[in-house]
A and B are shown apart, each in its own frame.
Chain A
């Protein structure tokens, strides 16, 4: 009985002693951390996608807490609401950014772009890109092996075997930019997200001259410049033989869509303008007439 008591007593004393030591050690080596980091991290989506430019949501939360000016930080996945909430919590000015969506700037589907050779190496765009231009004559078009789809952790990108091009689901896309980095041809661009997922963009990035583009692909931008001339908002610029629509300046007036001779300007979730008024009903659209004269010059 005595032995039992002695054992219990020894262990209790030892336990108490160690507890006191541990307490002091813990006080001494305490990692002092801003508790707000944890709170902000909870607000963030926890996708750890790297879309903000940081290694993960925790790193982003740390940056949000530690920096005085957070106007350059933005989580594309959470969006403006969450950023506002986090900023209010921290008592800082909320970073603002309009919602964006990834857009494939190539319209060279199997039907529009003829295959001129067959590739049977490793099924990866990055690999194809190191070897040659791809299965068509276009040196700028989509290679179709879906590196972007593999890079997308939100499942927003699907390969369409019929067109040989990817399709981006705007509801799932968070504009994290992983696909933009994955594409060796730099074909994916983050563009302004319109209500109802409307969009107008030049689905081509070929820098070849018009004749070369026409030979390789029926849907390419040939650099005729008609769209740039017709745009009333100055949203379209020509860079060499390639048109570019600035999604911030574009007002979705759709005038450029009908001008494009190759259909390289894609119109999404919108009805195109009626084609007749331009030719037949002159009084209906006097402004357009003027523009047409300019084009002729």
Chain B
């Protein structure tokens, strides 16, 4: 069975807590705060003001520049504020606050549940629709999808890879999406193939999700979806990383940044993103909701909810029966890539695939000790970096050393910190080095 060539870890997947919970529709929130930045790139510009009436699916934030994404209203009601408000990490971001009045949708959106397979649109039209709908990568990175699909002049894609890996422990939103919204996803995949003019697509699914593999294979076997293949992959983190997935599926290695996956002819999209593309192209529905897992070992209940963006994290926590006693850590995402939350009244965004609650001793990190030079982090790094060295260089602010040892190639998967027996916060330091080195490189380029 295929997987990526170097590094990686295999943490216990802990998906049993929520994997059998069918997708439920979360009741609409009374009020939402919609951040104008829910993607990588330039923040959107709010085009509504206080007192405006908005409908569900109406454009409220316009993309500024090419690498940016539109933002639509997830509910209908009145705008009560356009202000800088704290996000999940407490950082102030521009948000549009909307108070809900009923649930009136924009007329052009087709709300029927009937599956619409046929599509005669040109690739350009599909990309335009994806852009219009404000679709971003829903695996967590939140990279605008239309940018990915707009293949630069002189380059050509020959394979579309769909990320159904969900290598992150605990999370089950992509898994449930593949099981329950599989047909929608496959239509979405066909549309994506059309958009980038390729005749082959591979859906990578890890083999800890056998029923998803079986279900998708059955659907594909129908013959309605030509060129789509479901490929089981050996369970290993971080297989969902773009480069790792390309290496696992095709054996091709993406060169270090600034090279993009397209340089080896591959385009990667997340499974949930494919569903969003289906809805945007066939139903004119902008990206205003997604499946979010709320999970944790000590929660009273776990769920997979279809959640409108802007719903506060606290609503999900309430639905799970509240927080457990003692020290808790609430993560936006899974335990490996997720960011801890300090502000639960902050809104859920496009990249939030789940909320994981850690408690009962799991919440705290181990006590930091000296590096014993065991080299476990080097073995675990899927890029082939030397995390102990980079972390040390970063701590001593030797940015030239960090640059020399390719700090900018780090994908921030956290395998090094996970595997360190001395509980060193390796990734924390490497992240700083990566940012500083990138800034230095940019500064040098500007000087020239």
Contact = CB atoms under 8 A, between A and B. Distances in A.
A132 B340 CA distance: 9
Contact of B428 (A117, A121, A139): A121
Nearest to B366: A120
Interface in A112-156: 116-118, 120-122, 124, 126-127, 130-134, 137, 139
B304 to A, nearest CB: 27
A99 B365 CA distance: 45
B425 A122 contact: yes
Nearest to B424: A122
Interface residues of A, number: 17
Interface residues of B, number: 18
B89 A121 contact: no
Contact of A132 (B91, B364, B431): B91
B435 interface: yes
Given A118-B364, A132-B340, 4 more contacts: A116-B342, A117-B342, A118-B327, A124-B429
B89 A132 contact: yes
A149 to B, nearest CB: 14
Interface string A260-283: 000000000000000000000000
B91 A127 contact: no
Nearest to A134: B90
A124 B365 contact: no
A132 B428 CA distance: 12
A280 to B, nearest CB: 43
Interface string B52-86: 00000000000000000000000000000000001
B339 A137 contact: no
A102 to B, nearest CB: 19
Interface of B is mostly: mixed
B91 A130 contact: no
Given A121-B365, A139-B91, A130 B431 contact: yes
Contacts of B89: 131-133
Contacts of B50: none
B179 interface: no
Nearest to B367: A120
B92 interface: yes
A120 B365 contact: yes
A133 B90 contact: yes
Interface in B391-435: 395, 425, 428-429, 431-432, 435
A133 B435 CA distance: 18
A122 B420 CA distance: 14
Contacts of A139: 86, 90-92
Interface string A197-234: 00000000000100000000000000000000000000
B432 A127 contact: yes
A127 B342 contact: no
Contacts of B429: 122, 124, 127
A18 to B, nearest CB: 41
Contacts of A208: 92
A133 B343 CA distance: 10
Given A133-B89, A133-B91, A127 B365 contact: no
Contacts of A122: 425, 428-429
Given A130-B435, A133-B86, A133-B91, A121 B339 contact: no
A118 B92 CA distance: 20
Contacts of A134: 90
A130 B432 contact: yes
A160 B56 CA distance: 52
B183 to A, nearest CB: 40
